[in-house]
Amino acid sequence: MRFFEDLQVGQRRELGSYTFTAEEIIRFAQQFDPQRFHLDEEEGRNSLFGGLAASGWHVGSVCMKLIVADNQRLAELARSRGETIPVGGPSPGFRELRWLEPVLAGDTISFCSEIDSLRTSASRPHWGILQARNTGTNQRGDLVFSVLASAFVPTRNNG
Amino acid sequence: MTLTFEDFPQGPFGSFGPRHVSRDEIIAFASEFDPQPMHLDEQAALQSMLKGLSGSGWHLCSLMMRMMFDGFIGRTASLGSPGVNEVRWLSPLRPGDELMLDVEILEARVSRSRPSTGIVTFKCSVRNQAGGRLCEMVSPIIVARRRAGR
């Protein structure tokens, strides 16, 4: 996480990659999305996905996990330089989420975030709102996931 | 009986739930996928914009998916979803919430590229026990059309 003043449209961050194992795909699906193609290899092969496919909500949640980890790395850097550490706010939502290709067991997805727009919050003077295009690309270079997500970001005079 | 495209005409579809959400669940999900202080720690959460421990928005969406599954997707000839037009997180998910899901069908049309299927666009809204709206989502789902003899 950085302060609102330090952000610019077009800034891009590589968030790192994540390998979806069959075990994790099934565990997430059992809890939240137990459709047959998310639970069973054979059923997945016979579906439009062509294999055991992660729930789209699992893919989105992993993207969030890598965003938080990236923010923690930035906070650690700021701490090591003796700077004030910004604490991020919640998100009002997202738009244009696309599950473009299935994420199958064993796939490694690299996530990336690029700032799409920035505006100050009308109702909350110490906050800005960023909109970022977050994407996931598999090991073959196919774009599999894309979302335009918003979040509150603190300004330097916050709190 | 399995629900097919024909069972999803435009208009109100139904309400599903309740689904209880515990503090432990909120913390378990956040620990794995969204470990921000506002989702993990009561004291830190009190200082946050949401003024108290709140569930991750991705947790809320995942719970909404499960409520859709338990409500109707589990007995629907669903082939998956290409995405989500919009999600709005309107108020925080709190420990102890009893969630209800309201479902409306905004549009149902036969797929041009795969005429054996239809695309049903759902509007799903989650409210808590006090009637406060937590989340709204608009998302298309691909559903098989009924075949002769089924």
Q: Which tokens go with A24? A: 């994790």
Distance to chain B for A19, nearest Cα, Å: 14
* Cβ contact, residue pair A87, B48, below 8 Å: yes
Q: Which of residues 77-136 of A touch B (CB under 8 A)?
A: 87-99, 124, 127
Q: What domains can be seen in chain B, in order of their start residue?
A: 5-144 (3.10.129.10)
ipTM of the shown complex: 0.96
Give the C-alpha separation, A8 to B4, whole Å.
47
Block mean pLDDT (10 aa), chain A, length 159 = 92 98 98 97 95 98 98 93 90 98 98 97 92 98 98 86
**Chain B contact for A56 (CB, 8 A cutoff):** yes
B36: Cα separation from own chain's centroid: 22
pLDDT value of residue B149: 47
The pLDDT of B109-122, averaged and rounded, is 96
Contacts of B80 in chain A (CB under 8 A): 35, 37, 47-49, 53, 56, 99
Average pLDDT, chain B: 96
**Chain A contact for B38 (CB, 8 A cutoff):** yes
pTM above the 0.80 mark? yes
Q: What is chain B's length?
A: 150
Mind listing the pLDDT tens digit for each residue in B3-37? Answer: 999 999 999 999 999 999 999 999 999 999 999 99
Mutate to test the interface with B, among A1, A15, A31 (most CBs of B within 10 A): A31
pLDDT higher than threshold 60 for residue B148: no
Give the C-alpha separation, A85 to A120, whole Å.
20
Closest residue to B66, CB basis, from A33, A92, A97: A33
Q: Which of residues 93-122 of B touch A (CB under 8 A)?
A: none
pLDDT higher than threshold 70 for residue B150: no
Distance to chain A for B42, nearest Cα, Å: 15
Residue B4, SS3 per DSSP: coil
Question: Which residue of chain B comes nearest to A57, CA vs CA?
Answer: B62
pLDDT value of residue A159: 55
Query: Is A151 within 8 Å of A2 (Cβ atoms)?
Result: no
Contacts of A152 in chain B (CB under 8 A): 49
Mind listing the pLDDT tens digit for each residue in B90-108? Answer: 999 999 999 999 999 999 9
Residue A89, SS3 per DSSP: coil
* Cβ contact, residue pair A64, B61, below 8 Å: no
Mind listing the pLDDT tens digit for each residue in A15-51? Answer: 999 999 999 999 999 999 999 999 999 999 999 999 9
Closest residue to A57, CB basis, from B37, B61, B73: B61
- Cis geometry, peptide bond prior to residue A125 (ω within 30 degrees of 0): no
Select from B69, B20, B60 the least CA-distant residue to A61.
B60
Q: Which tokens go with A63? A: 């993207």
Q: What domains can be seen in chain A, in order of their start residue?
A: 4-154 (3.10.129.10)
* Cβ contact, residue pair B73, A35, below 8 Å: yes
H or E segment and range at residue A57: helix A56-80
pLDDT value of residue A158: 73
Distance to chain A for B104, nearest Cα, Å: 19
Residue B61, SS3 per DSSP: helix
